[in-house]
Chain A
C-alpha cells in the first residue's frame, strides 16, 4: 500500500467508522476513497475541476462539481457527520462564511490551515521584508491562491467568534507524524507549520430546522449575527 499523507492519516484517525462525510475540494478523491476503504464511510465529494470530478466518478465516489465558496449553501442542514476542508480555507473568498456553513451542514468539521505565524514566516518577513515564500507556502504573492492567510491565533479567535468548540488539534509539518497540540498555546503559533482542527458547534448554537424553498434548499441566514461582537473585540 502506498504511503498515506500525514494529514490523511490524522483525518482517518478522527473519523468514526460508517460516518457520513462531505469532502469539500476532494480533488481526485484519494481521501474519500481511503475513508471508504478503511472506515466504511458514506462519502460525498465537492470538487471544482472537471478532471477531479471524472477521477472521483471512476473511483465510484459520489461527487458534485461545484465550488466551496458558492455551493455549500445548497446542502441541507446536518446532512453529514463530518465536513472536511483540507488546506483550502485560506483560498476561499469568504472563509468565515464557509466555516460556519461547514458546521451547519455537518455535526463536526475537520479543517486544516497553514499557519502564517510559523517562525519561518515571521523570520522571512522580518529579515527579507517580503511576503514569505516557504516550503509550506511556496508561491510568490502575485501567484498564490492563498488570499486569506491566518495564524493559529487568528483561526482560534475565529472559532471563538463563531462559537465553535475545538475538539482536537494536531500540528502538521511536511512529512512528519501529526503532533497533538493545544492551539492556544503561544509557542504552537511559532512552531506549527500547519494545523488540523476537529471542530463542533457548542450545544447552544445548534442550527434550527430551517424552512425549505421550492427546491428543498435551505434558506440562508440573512446576516452574520456575531459581527458586532467581532468589532467590539477589535476595539478592545
Chain B
C-alpha cells in the first residue's frame, strides 16, 4: 500500500475536481459505463502519516461537497459548518474530512449537465440512470486514488445516511466506523410519491424541453422551484412550521388574491426561488430516482441483516429525530435491528426534537453531543490522538 500511497498525488488544495483517466470508468448498476469520471470534492484537514484519520462525509439530495466552506454560488456557509470545524465534533485538526459531490450531481461531478463525450453536448436524458451504490462506488474510487485504505468514519444524513449504509454493505473492509443519520434502508411508497410530484413539476415546465433545456438555452426554473417547495415541506415537522409561521400574514390583512399572504407561503416561495440558482433540474430528476430505487435489502435476498453480514468489525451509530416523518425513527430502528441481527456493533439514539427531518442541519445540541461522544470514543479505539 505504501507504494500506491507514494504514487497517489497528495491533495494540497482544499478541493476541486478529481478527473479519472479514460482507463478508469465508473461502471453503473444499470450496466452503463461513465467514461472520464469527474468528482467534485472538498477536503478539510490533513491526512495523517498512518492514513487512519480520513472521514468521508456524504451529502443529502440537494447538498454538495461544500460541507464546511462557503458555497461558491450562494455565498452561504457550508451545509454542515455546525458540525465540521475547529472544536466541533468533526475537527479538521484531528481528522482529514472529505466530502464529494455525488455522481449525477451538478457541482463538479459527472452528471446530466456534463458534456456527453459522444456528442459534446450536455447529456440531458442521455445520462444513464444512477443508484446510491453508483455514488458510493465513485467515492470508493476517489478514496482509493487518495491512497486511503480504511476510512476512520463514513458519516451522512438523509441520502448521505443511505450512502453510509451502502458503504457498509459494499466496502465493509474499508470502514472503521459508520454514522447514519435520519435515513432509511429503502424508500417507502410515501417517499417515492413525494419525489414523483417533484419530478412531474419539473417535467411539466415547458422550459424543460424533454431534458434538453441546456442546449436550448432555457431552464425549467418554475418546475424545479415547485419541486423544491413540495419537498421542503417534507423536511419540516408540522410543529416546526406552526412554531415558525403559524397563520402569520406578511402584511396587515388579506390581499383577497393569490399573492403570498401567509408567511409560510412567502418562505416556501423563497426556498424554491433560491434553490433554482444552485441546482440543476435534471440532476434533481436523476438523484431523486436514485433514492427511489434504493432498497438495500433487495440485493441481499430481501434480508437487510444480510447486507451487513461482513460489517461486524464496523462500529455503527444510527441516529433519528423524533419528529422526522420523512425518514422516521421506525426506519432507523429497522436498520438497528438488522445490524443487531447481523451481529454488528451498533448504537442507536432517537433525538427528541420538533424540527423534523432537517434537524440534522440545525442547532440540535443533543445531536452534537451524541456525535462528539461517539467519535471521541471511536477515535480512541482507533488510536487517534
Query: Which of B337-360 touch A at CB < 8 Å?
Result: 337-338, 340-343, 345-352
Is there an interface contact between B336 and A64, defined as CB atoms closer than 8 Å?
yes
A54 at the interface (CB under 8 A from B): yes
B315 CB contacts on chain A under 8 angstroms:
62
B302 CB contacts on chain A under 8 angstroms:
214
Tell me, in angstroms, the Cα distance from A57 to B347 when the chains sit together: 8
Is there an interface contact between B297 and A214, defined as CB atoms closer than 8 Å?
yes
A85 at the interface (CB under 8 A from B): no
Interface of chain A, helix or strand or loop or mixed? mixed
Closest partner residue, chain A, to B297 (CB atom): A214
A63 at the interface (CB under 8 A from B): yes
Given the interface contacts A50-B349, A50-B352, A64-B347, does A75 sit within 8 Å of B377 by beta carbon? Answer: no
B362 at the interface (CB under 8 A from A): no
Interface residues on B, range: 35 or more
Tell me, in angstroms, the Cα distance from A176 to B349 when the chains sit together: 36
Least CB distance from B323 to A in Å reads: 14
Is there an interface contact between B297 and A58, defined as CB atoms closer than 8 Å?
no
Is there an interface contact between A216 and B349, defined as CB atoms closer than 8 Å?
no
Tell me, in angstroms, the Cα distance from A218 to B305 when the chains sit together: 11
Tell me, in angstroms, the Cα distance from A26 to B380 when the chains sit together: 22
Is there an interface contact between B349 and A215, defined as CB atoms closer than 8 Å?
no
Least CB distance from B14 to A in Å reads: 30
Tell me, in angstroms, the Cα distance from A120 to B259 when the chains sit together: 75
Closest partner residue, chain B, to A57 (CB atom): B373
A227 CB contacts on chain B under 8 angstroms:
none
Least CB distance from A44 to B in Å reads: 7
Please list the residues of chain A having a beta carbon within 8 angstroms of any beta carbon in chain B. Answer: 42, 44, 50, 53-54, 56-66, 74-76, 79, 212, 214-218
Instruction: Supply 4 further A-B pairs (C-beta < 8 A) apart from A75-B341, A76-B341, A218-B341.
Output: A62-B346, A63-B347, A79-B343, A217-B341
10 closest A-B pairs by CB: A216-B305, A60-B377, A216-B341, A58-B373, A57-B373, A74-B337, A64-B348, A76-B341, A62-B345, A215-B304
Enumerate 14 A-B pairs (CB-CB under 8 Å) in ascending A order: A50-B349, A56-B347, A57-B317, A57-B374, A57-B377, A62-B345, A62-B347, A65-B348, A65-B349, A66-B348, A74-B341, A79-B343, A216-B305, A216-B306
